């Protein structure tokens, strides 16, 4: 990655983070589209525009235009009236419709709004924000001090993109290192794995944001998913018994996953009565 140079890395980061934000927005509003398929159509066009904007060195102007295009997609007047389900788990399974057997579409058809999580960019941010402590743990205090001075740049960098997106997007953004560390340490050592810590913290982020239930999706024998599943009892206890369900996708489109999903969504509806 270093051989590609800093400008390339920054452009790649801009692209990944902005696409993450559009994907969360798309997932949230899709069940309210007036014309079926219109949200996904505009989203796919935006992906190409973001790519073109990065290549032509006009990213921020393109981003502003793309946000306005997405805001213009007609939505029904009953927006945000459905119960909300937050999705955590391994990054590939939670964002790929082929891996999760069209989970988001199924939930929409069952009457739910879906809040999803970021791709690997959240782990990158977290890695930068906590790097100063890693240096200190390794006996390199000077490097740790320098890295701590660099950390606020992450917030500023994200803010340059965040300011273009509307404030009424309900899906909560991932929190900074300090909050993730505090949440994770209640259940497991933060330093075991950053992705694991992000998943545990994401449950609390969804709960505080107003989600009515959480689904932990994972591929077969995923370490992250299994650990979160094992801790879900303790996590639920601390979060007002919010319904949490773990679903394993092994690529066989098993009927039992549909049955689990139906039982879980019925539980959420009962809790809301």
DSSP state letter for 115: E
- Report the interhelical angle of 121-137 vs 152-162 (nearest 10°): 170
**pLDDT value, residue 5:** 74
**pLDDT value, residue 180:** 95
Tell me which residues of the chain have a pLDDT lower than 50: none
Pairwise CA distance, residues 24 & 174, whole Å: 12
Which tokens in the block code for residue 87?
Answer: 């999705």
pTM of the model: 0.91
Under a CB-based contact definition with an 8 Å cutoff, are residues 187 and 181 in contact? no
Pairwise CA distance, residues 101 & 252, whole Å: 9
**pLDDT value, residue 259:** 86
What CATH number does the domain located at 82-117+174-273 have? Answer: 3.40.50.11900
Burial class (CB in 10 A: 0-12, 13-18, 19+), 121: buried
Read off the pLDDT of residues 85-116 as tens digits, 9 standing for 90 and up.
999 998 889 888 988 999 999 999 999 999 99
The pLDDT mean for the chain works out to: 91
**pLDDT value, residue 18:** 96
**pLDDT value, residue 120:** 66
Pairwise CA distance, residues 139 & 142, whole Å: 9
**pLDDT value, residue 20:** 94
């Amino acid at each position: 990655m270093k051989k590609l140079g800093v400008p390339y890395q920054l452009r790649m980061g801009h692209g990944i983070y902005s696409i993450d934000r559009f994907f969360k927005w798309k997932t949230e509003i899709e069940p309210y589209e007036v014309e079926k398929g219109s949200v996904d159509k505009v989203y796919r066009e935006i992906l190409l525009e973001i790519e073109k904007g990065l290549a032509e060195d006009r990213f921020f102007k393109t981003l502003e235009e793309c946000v306005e295009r997405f805001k213009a997609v007609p939505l029904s007047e009953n927006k945000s009236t459905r119960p909300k389900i937050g999705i955590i788990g391994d990054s590939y399974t939670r964002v790929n419709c082929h891996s999760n057997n069209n989970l988001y579409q199924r939930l929409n058809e069952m009457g739910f709004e879906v809040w999803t999580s970021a791709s690997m960019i959240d782990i990158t941010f977290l890695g930068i924000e906590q790097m100063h402590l890693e240096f200190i743990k390794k006996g390199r205090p000077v490097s740790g001090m320098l890295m701590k001075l660099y950390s606020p740049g992450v917030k500023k960098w994200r803010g340059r993109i965040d300011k273009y997106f509307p404030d009424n997007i309900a899906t909560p953004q991932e929190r900074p290192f300090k909050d993730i560390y505090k949440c994770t340490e209640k259940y497991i050592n933060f330093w075991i794995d950053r992705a694991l810590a992000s998943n545990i913290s994401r449950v609390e982020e969804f709960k505080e944001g107003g989600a009515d239930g959480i689904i932990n999706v994972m591929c077969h024998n995923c370490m992250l998913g299994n650990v979160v599943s094992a801790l879900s009892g303790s996590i639920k206890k601390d979060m007002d018994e919010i319904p949490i369900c773990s679903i394993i996708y092994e690529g066989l489109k098993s009927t039992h996953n549909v049955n689990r999903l139906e039982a879980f969504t019925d539980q959420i509806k009962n809790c809301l009565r």
